[in-house]
Amino acid sequence: MRTERALNFNPGPAALPLPVLEQARDELLNFKGEGLSILEISHRSRAFESLVLETEKLMKEIMRIPPGYRALFLQGGASLQFSLIPMNFLPAGETADYIVTGSFAEKACKDAGQVGQVHLAANTKGQGHRRIPRQEELHFSPSPAYVHLTTNNTVYGTQWHYTPTTPGSPLVADMSSDILSRPLDVSAYAFIYAGAQKNMGPAGVTAVIISEEMLDRVPQSLPSMLRYDLHAKNNSLYNTPPSFGVYIMNLVLKWAAENGGLSRLEEVNRKKAALIYKVLDEYPDFYRGHAEKDSRSLMNVTFRLPSEELEGLFIQEAGKWNMTGLKGHRSVGGIRASIYNAMPEKGCRTLADFMEDFYARKG
Ligand SMILES: *Cc1c(COP(=O)(O)O)cnc(C)c1O
């Protein structure tokens, strides 16, 4: 049993900023003088409606979203978007291109294939998803309805460090595990989505950033809950939204702004990741990084040790250093340190120190 808060390296749901949790605790019984908890308030109340509108505004400000886009707060997770995207944007007779760089990209591609025709513009599976393809390795179909990519591969620990050029097609991106981690040219994308539970809030709310052009393409024949245009028209209040999740996301966005915005967060994230990658580079025969260097993720650091036995011991001893959530994804094994925005630099330093100590004893 722990009496103090642990250093949380979980991949998602993941660490939230402590000031956010503290404010949520302090306001839990009485939200903004309503005399009710945020958990009890009507989603049709003025207080809640202004919370949703404010959250959209905050998101636009912090991410510097240009005019002509909407930010929506939906349910169903990033995984539901895997099928909603082709249902909304892949008409019969057209092809959507997918760049498969990891397991979530693969799932997105598979679901799109259930809806319509897909083309693999690239697939790094044969190379163990260790790297992001270069622009010249992307082979698009003649005129894709859209091109889909996953900007950070949570399971494998790789991340795109450039925005690919498409044959004039809208770019659609799953940013579940790196949204808000660095500045972004949103105008390069027509559609961005992210489950909140990695870098932006709790499980249960999914953010969607969608251009007006994409909203115009939604087929009116779709059932209501599947239509992005209806959600936009109703300011994410078509039905009962994930109200607590929107509230926490609102607090996380304010926290991000107070902490210097995305440029500053990126600076800190680079510093944090460098502390851990430095140890991998010092002892490459012991700590075997999964990602190739130029594809390394600033959010999920993945590596193996020489044996599963050592990996088990590593995780067990890390627990004694008050660290948790370091076990790699079941499909890759090994160790994964998820170091999203809310992981303080101190946590990454502790992990790096522990890795040095562990190597000195077991290497
Ligand atoms: C976690 C994750 C998902 C799945 O999110 P859910 O909200 O559980 O559906 C999808 N894509 C990426 C990149 C993820 O990291």
Domain end marker among 258, 278, 313 = 258
CA distance linking residue 208 with residue 211, whole number of Å: 10
Q: Are residues 155 and 89 in the same domain?
A: yes
CA neighbor of 209 nearest in space, from 64, 89, 70, 88: 70
Taking the centre of ligand 1 as the mean of its atom positions, its distance from the CA of residue 79, in whole angstroms, is 6
Question: Is the Cα torsion angle 291, 335, 331, 338 positive or negative in sign?
Answer: negative
**Residue 359 confidence (pLDDT):** 98
Q: Are residues 254 and 269 in the same domain?
A: no
**Residue 201 confidence (pLDDT):** 97
Q: Are residues 127 and 112 in the same domain?
A: yes
Taking the centre of ligand 1 as the mean of its atom positions, its distance from the CA of residue 293, in whole angstroms, is 24
Residue 345: CATH number of its domain: 3.90.1150.10
pLDDT > 80? residue 1? no
User: Any idea which residue has 């005399």 for tokens?
Assistant: 35
Residue 327 DSSP label = B
Task: Report if residue 12 sits inside a domain.
Answer: no
Of all protein residues, the one whose alpha carbon is nearest to atom 2 of ligand 1 is 176
Task: Report whether residue 78 contacts ligand 1, using a CB cutoff of 6 Å.
Answer: yes
Task: Report if residue 213 sits inside a domain.
Answer: yes
Q: Are residues 244 and 335 in the same domain?
A: no
Domain end marker among 237, 258, 279 = 258
Contacts of 93 (CB under 8 A, 6+ apart): 117
Taking the centre of ligand 1 as the mean of its atom positions, its distance from the CA of residue 87, in whole angstroms, is 19
Reduce the DSSP state of residue 48 to 3 states and report it: helix
CA distance linking residue 188 with residue 183, whole number of Å: 13
Beta bridge partners of 63: none
Task: Report whether residue 176 contacts ligand 1, using a CB cutoff of 6 Å.
Answer: yes
Of all protein residues, the one whose alpha carbon is nearest to atom 13 of ligand 1 is 176
The whole-model pTM stands at 0.98
pLDDT tens string 20-75: 999 999 999 999 999 999 999 999 999 999 999 999 999 999 999 999 999 999 99
Give me the count of residues in the chain: 363
Task: Report if residue 4 sits inside a domain.
Answer: no
Taking the centre of ligand 1 as the mean of its atom positions, its distance from the CA of residue 30, in whole angstroms, is 32
The residue range of the domain holding 338 is 261-362
CA distance to 17, 133, 149, 222, per residue, from 109 (Å): 33, 17, 10, 20
For residues 261-290, average pLDDT = 98
Q: Are residues 150 and 295 in the same domain?
A: no
Task: Report whether residue 154 contacts ligand 1, using a CB cutoff of 6 Å.
Answer: yes
Provide the token pair at 188.
């390069």
For residues 147-163, average pLDDT = 98
Q: Give the pLDDT band (50/70/90) at residue 79.
A: very high
Q: Are residues 97 and 241 in the same domain?
A: yes
Atom nearest to 77 CA in ligand 1: 7
At residue 27, what is the residue type? E
Q: Are residues 338 and 241 in the same domain?
A: no
Exposed, middle or buried: residue 145 (CB in 10 Å: 0-12, 13-18, 19+)?
Answer: buried
Average pLDDT across the chain, whole number:
97
Task: Report whether residue 77 contacts ligand 1, using a CB cutoff of 6 Å.
Answer: yes
Taking the centre of ligand 1 as the mean of its atom positions, its distance from the CA of residue 84, in whole angstroms, is 14
CA neighbor of 305 nearest in space, from 290, 320, 325, 316: 290
Q: Are residues 225 and 303 in the same domain?
A: no
Side-chain half-sphere CA neighbours of 348 within 13 A? 24
Task: Report if residue 349 sits inside a domain.
Answer: yes
Task: Report if residue 66 sits inside a domain.
Answer: yes
Provide the token pair at 195.
């489950």
Percentage of residues of the chain with pLDDT beyond 70: 100
Q: Are residues 230 and 314 in the same domain?
A: no
CA distance linking residue 113 with residue 95, whole number of Å: 10
Q: Are residues 297 and 211 in the same domain?
A: no
The count of structural domains within the chain is: 2
Pocket test for ligand 1, best of 73, 103, 104 (most atoms within 8 A of CB): 104
Of all protein residues, the one whose alpha carbon is nearest to atom 12 of ligand 1 is 176
pLDDT tens string 351-361: 999 999 999 99
Task: Report if residue 324 sits inside a domain.
Answer: yes
CA distance linking residue 320 with residue 308, whole number of Å: 19
CA distance to 7, 229, 295, per residue, from 2 (Å): 11, 47, 36
Taking the centre of ligand 1 as the mean of its atom positions, its distance from the CA of residue 110, in whole angstroms, is 15
Taking the centre of ligand 1 as the mean of its atom positions, its distance from the CA of residue 9, in whole angstroms, is 16
Taking the centre of ligand 1 as the mean of its atom positions, its distance from the CA of residue 155, in whole angstroms, is 10
Residue 100: CATH number of its domain: 3.40.640.10
Specify the DSSP element, H or E, that contains 211. Answer: strand 206-211
Task: Report if residue 2 sits inside a domain.
Answer: no
Task: Report if residue 327 sits inside a domain.
Answer: yes
pLDDT > 90? residue 332? no
Provide the token pair at 265.
């967060």
Reduce the DSSP state of residue 314 to 3 states and report it: helix
Taking the centre of ligand 1 as the mean of its atom positions, its distance from the CA of residue 198, in whole angstroms, is 8
Q: Are residues 331 and 199 in the same domain?
A: no
Domain end marker among 200, 225, 258 = 258
Provide the token pair at 229.
């245009």
Under 8 Å between Cβ of 345 and 271? yes
Task: Report whether residue 174 contacts ligand 1, using a CB cutoff of 6 Å.
Answer: yes
Q: Give the pLDDT band (50/70/90) at residue 331.
A: confident
CA distance linking residue 280 with residue 303, whole number of Å: 8
Q: Give the pLDDT band (50/70/90) at residue 3.
A: confident
pLDDT > 90? residue 330? no
Q: Are residues 253 and 300 in the same domain?
A: no
pLDDT tens string 209-227: 999 999 999 999 999 999 9
Task: Report whether residue 104 contacts ligand 1, using a CB cutoff of 6 Å.
Answer: yes
